[in-house]
Amino acid sequence: MMKGNFHETLEHSKEFHIHIDGHWISQSFENFLVKNHDFIISNFPGHPEGIPHYEPVRHLTKKIKVGKKFHEVFDSIENYLETNPKSIEGYIEGEYVPVDIDISEKDFNPEIEIPCQFQLTSLTLGTFREDEIHITLSRDESDAKLIDSLRRMGFFSAYAKKTYGAAEVLTVQGTYKQIQEILPKIVTYLEQAGGAVKCSVKEERIVRWWLSSSELSLPPVLESVNQPIFLPQEQLNLIFA
């Protein structure tokens, strides 16, 4: 197993998250998380066909308001896994949420161009991402052309269950510096382009992480951020048909 940390926790953060992402999780470990620490089982129900996806088989989440409590829970989980190292094949991420923005709802404007496109690469084995952006929106109520545009930018995605129905969660991950570069561009694009319904943008910055193995394969991260390639209108019409 491997573990590490990046950023100091900030007490003014809106929220802290701990996510358990496993290809496999033992029943005893799951019981420990749910009964001892009130984790919520929130498995992803699927993903769009033909789109890159990296969602784990098992996903549990706990949201915490205070940094001290966050570290206490993470310490407890690490202690459990020190004693029961075969309890999970996967990873654990502890993060805080410095940015959580609701996007206003209006009709999609296809004349607003995407601000950039991402080139992704594999993480070096035994390392972990530093930061990430999640765009969460109503899958069925949001404009499909907006979602297609976000996918063309390089976001990968999975579906999630919400109280209103199905959501799509679009994700990009990378270093702190990379995410800080693209975050304002993405928020501005969403606000100007429109088409998003029940949409929020979160930056989730890694504080602590744990891997079941240094050989564990993780989702890809940003390699570079490039100027967008603009396709002829005929090709765009086919994409948005």
Q: 199-211 and 88-103: which strand pairing? A: antiparallel
Name the β-bridge partners of 117: 226
- What is the pLDDT at residue 241? 46
Rounded Cα gap, residues 221 and 236, in angstroms? 27
From the CB of residue 137, how many other CB atoms can be counted at a distance below 10 Å?
25
Q: How much is the pLDDT for 228?
A: 75
Distance (Å, whole) CA 179 – CA 186: 10
Tell me which residues of the chain have a pLDDT lower than 70: 1-13, 229-241
Pairing mode, if any, of strands 221-226 and 40-41?
Answer: unpaired
**pLDDT for 6:** 56
Q: What per-residue confidence (pLDDT) applies to 5?
A: 63
Q: Residue 184, Cβ neighbours under 10 Å: how many?
A: 11
pLDDT for res 197:
98
